Amino acid sequence: MKSLDSKIPNGDLVSKWSQHKFNLNLVNPSNKKKYTVIVVGTGLAGASAAATMAELGYNVLAFSYHESPRRAHSIAAQGGINAAKNYQNDGDSVFRLFYDTIKGGDYRSREANVYRLAELSSNIIDQCAAQGVPFAREYGGHLANRSFGGAQVSRTFYARGQTGQQLLLGAYSALIRQMNLKTVKFFPRHEMLDLVTIDGHAKGIIARNLLTGDIQSYPANAVVLATGGYGNVFYLSTNAMASNVTASWRAHKKGALFANPCFTQIHPTCIPVSSNHQSKLTLMSESLRNDGRVWVPKKKNDLRDPNQISEEERDYYLERLYPSFGNLVPRDVASRRAKEMCDNGFGVGNTRLAVYLDFKDVIAKQGKNWVAEKYGNLFDMYHQITGESPYEKPMMIYPAVHYTMGGLWVDYNLMSNIPGLYVTGEANFSDHGANRLGASALMQGLADGYFILPYTIGDYLAKESSALNSTHEEYQNGVQFCNEQIKNMLSIKGNKTVDDLHKELGKIMWDYVGMSRNKSNLELALKQIPSIREDFWNNVNIPGTGKEFNPELEKAGRLADFIELGELMAKDALNREESCGGHFREEHQTDDNEAKRNDENYSFVAAWEYVKEKESIMHKEQLIFENVKLATRSYK
């Protein structure tokens, strides 16, 4: 077993980060430009990191499979971003945000990381406001806040329902400014296919130009992966169509440990699946739960129009089960309860896989205009997709895969176990434990990119020589390996399309490794996924060639990695004999169907090591809690 040194600094929680920053080695300013850093992915975490490192003076190469950094899926985050500003004077503090995040994550994250995140949250808001991000404001001109899933204070900053878009455009503007200054070289429509390691250190990547199919090596002194999450392993998720695990997975195959892959978040408020042609799911911001009330009919299989069902015949089950948090319980709880209601026959809509989210009361109380001002764009989006107006009829919602807490293992410096390989944002596993609180993803991506990585990467580079041997055989080997893999895939010419196979994988993942899991289903998944892998490598049909713009080929490469990841997820889920956060094992629940953690035996991070053609090996990083008392989460 590898020793997993999380490099958490000593000292008390509050001063760890500032002390650590002082202890970090610095790179001489005049030497910084000699160091090349590759950033893969230019969403919130990647763009902010690339821009900030360029400001510091490093030579940055930024890669994206999109045509522009502004297309990254960070853009789709709707609700907001948390910060412990306490502008509302409602008792918020860094410690409270830290505590809420640790508790929300069901005590499966590192104290030190989470505290640092809470501490930096305020700086993010300052930074973004200075960039011209048009946050919502009060009439007095100050920033507005709202409360958000699972929090009892108003600490969420927002820009209508498009906070992610505005923050990404902010990070994009910082990045593009550096592109103009020629401190960042941007490689659009380039997909990372492999990591190059030399003597165990990350020394660059292999990337394919998606327009020409040209595969090349790009040497660098350090590599940062900011490549997002792997929710698309379920085929249907709220992730963008191109979101994938390939960069992380290929790094994993080069030795980077993959931590807690089974921790996936199911978002409770998504538009339900309508048919098997569905290509993706659309999220309705969780902020809707601030004013909408969730209910199902009290009678099973009640097919009446929701407006015909009287108050007495409705079961506002979240308010009934959780009197103090009501509709604002954390995502995992709200999702699981919705599934339970539907499984018990109370579901609504054609598929019976939906519950109502009703705005009748708030419209009556505050008026339609007030609601439109706050949620107008979400209501329009819902109307556009379903053909029904939430002003007139309650929304129908159902949980969907939304975010993945798991990811590549990183230490306190955000460096993986491969020296020189850093992982930021959703791609790493670090801060959200087993469940992420609403409005924390944007916070983490930007904290990593703006305020953590640019410091910590210097500590590594200061000890490394800036010299790069671009003729090293590892670069050529990497290019050759990737070319061959593509050639192999293209030569199969079977009878199944990539989408067919992806749907098959998604169904297994959703049914057996989805919202609620049990041993026999997980074992079933572990039996079935390898046969899909087999099927893929024997039967996939990829049209066209590798020397042209070929989106089907891109999809195929990503699916190949998803299949392998799916297996690891099932393995991890099977291994974790407890329920915590987004990971719910039916065998481990309390009498009233709440998740039952096993702190004694599973208070660890499961970091998996890839072993070629053999079973993956699990390494444990024990989680130590010195500042919070582990308690059963209760939202009653």
Residue from 169, 223, 247, 565 in contact with another protein (CB under 8 A): 169
Query: Does 346 contact another protein by CB under 8 A?
Result: no
Please tell me the distance from the alpha carbon of residue 558 to that of residue 417, in angstroms, as a whole number: 23
In the complex, the smallest distance separating the C-beta of residue 474 from another protein, rounded to whole angstroms, is 32
Cβ neighbours of residue 293 closer than 8 Å, sequence gap 6 or more: 316, 319, 327, 357, 358, 361
The per-residue DSSP string of 3-61 comes to -------SS-GGGHHHHHHHHS----HHHHTT-EEEEE--SHHHHHHHHHHHHHT-EEE
In the complex, the smallest distance separating the C-beta of residue 371 from another protein, rounded to whole angstroms, is 17
User: What's at 453, amino acid-wise?
Assistant: L
The residues pairing with 209 across neighbouring beta strands, listed in sequence order, are 190
Query: Does 211 contact another protein by CB under 8 A?
Result: yes
Which of these ranges, 121-129, 223-231, 470-478, 565-573, lies near another protein under the rule CB under 8 A? 121-129
Closest CA to 377 of 229, 231, 158, 168: 158
Name the residue nearer to another protein (CB basis): 19 or 68. 68
Query: Does 29 contact another protein by CB under 8 A?
Result: no
Which of these ranges, 16-24, 138-146, 229-237, 466-474, lies near another protein under the rule CB under 8 A? 138-146
> Which burial class, exposed, middle or buried, applies to 76 when counting CB atoms under 10 A from its CB (0-12, 13-18, 19+)?
middle
Query: Does 174 contact another protein by CB under 8 A?
Result: yes
Residue from 8, 24, 76, 618 in contact with another protein (CB under 8 A): 76
Which of these ranges, 154-162, 226-234, 508-516, 573-581, lies near another protein under the rule CB under 8 A? 154-162
Q: Are strands 201-209 and 215-219 parallel, antiparallel or unpaired?
A: antiparallel
Closest CA to 163 of 193, 201, 204, 125: 125
Residue from 33, 34, 201, 280 in contact with another protein (CB under 8 A): 280
| Torsion of the alpha carbons at 533, 537, 542 and 544, rounded to the nearest 10 | 150
Is residue 331 annotated as a catalytic residue, yes or no?
A: yes
Query: Does 451 contact another protein by CB under 8 A?
Result: yes
Query: Does 88 contact another protein by CB under 8 A?
Result: no
Query: Does 618 contact another protein by CB under 8 A?
Result: no
Residue from 32, 70, 96, 588 in contact with another protein (CB under 8 A): 70
Cβ neighbours of residue 308 closer than 8 Å, sequence gap 6 or more: none
Please tell me the distance from the alpha carbon of residue 55 to that of residue 91, in angstroms, as a whole number: 36
Per annotation, catalytic residue among 96, 331, 597, 633? 331
> Which 215-274 residues touch another protein, going by CB under 8 A?
238, 240-242, 274
> Which 455-494 residues touch another protein, going by CB under 8 A?
none
| Helices (H), ranges, 462-518 | 473-492, 498-512
For residue 36 the two structure tokens come to 């090349």
In the complex, the smallest distance separating the C-beta of residue 75 from another protein, rounded to whole angstroms, is 5
> Which 492-521 residues touch another protein, going by CB under 8 A?
495, 497, 499-500
Query: Does 66 contact another protein by CB under 8 A?
Result: yes
> Which 30-59 residues touch another protein, going by CB under 8 A?
48, 51-52, 55
Name the residue nearer to another protein (CB basis): 172 or 317. 172
Report, as residue numbers or ranges, the catalytic residues: 331
